[in-house]
Amino acid sequence: MSVEFDLSGQVVIVTGGGKGVGRGITTRFLEAGAQVVICGRSELEAPIEAGGRAAHFRAADVRDVEQVQAVVAYAKDELGRLDVLVNNAGGAPEADAATVSPRFSEAILRLNLIAPLNFAQAANAVMQDQDEGGRIINISSVSGVRPSPGTAAYGAAKAGLLSLTTTLAVEWAPKVRVNAVTAGMIRTEQSHLHYGDEDGIAAVGATVPLGRIGEPEDVGDACLYLASPLSRYVSGANLLLHGGGEKPAFLSAAKNTSE
């Protein structure tokens, strides 16, 4: 796939950028010419390289404010600036809302909502002092815009992230644009845990109007657009990236009944 965006000279932070969706985002920005800083709790098994350059890795837990500030300081002090922040780190294991512990729910909210706010705040402080400002992209989920059984706190956090996006877009304009990408089902290293083997993944993909589940690079391409001059008048927006969404359950139910 040819690179259509030139972000040469730009510095980008991708939280959780070493695996899954984050790795796809990192790869796309590297291919577009950007210098990319990724952070995560676990060291990388091998450097992430694309477009003739490698990502910079900083060990950090996004739930720790001091570690968040250290990652932003690295981008500013070592690379000279910070143009784009992609708040990608997040997730949640399945848990029954009726029995889950309050401590567990608080941890999920802290990872998926409070951590992006803290990271955005630190990034904004740098971006506001730059003539070109900056862009912040929050990676949300369809769990935030529809029921999220089994991951109630996660869905609530992602819904909150969308609200946060619109608010920050107003407060931090005009220097900083803030947008969200709401991702649907994306194929990652852990897809088998949710969808089973290749046949299961294909069967799940067949339920999507576009006929497949998404790839990490699909999310990366959406982020490239929101980071590029092509989206210069886009702020406070939520880009739905779900292949057309989920087919309404009543359609198949009505069909089976009629048969």
Catalytic residue among 154, 195, 225, 233: 154
Say how far apart CA 112 and CA 107 lie, in whole Å.
Answer: 9
Alpha-carbon torsion angle 117, 238, 179, 42, nearest 10: 50
DSSP 66: H
* Cα-based distances in Å from 221 to 5, 25, 53, 94: 10, 7, 18, 28
Q: Report whether the peptide linkage leading into residue 174 is cis, meaning its omega lies within 30 degrees of zero.
A: yes
Which residue(s) pair with 20 in the sheet? Answer: none
Q: For residue 225, indicate whether it is catalytic.
A: no
Is the sign of the CA dihedral 83, 236, 162, 143 positive or negative? negative
Task: Just list the catalytic residues.
Answer: 154
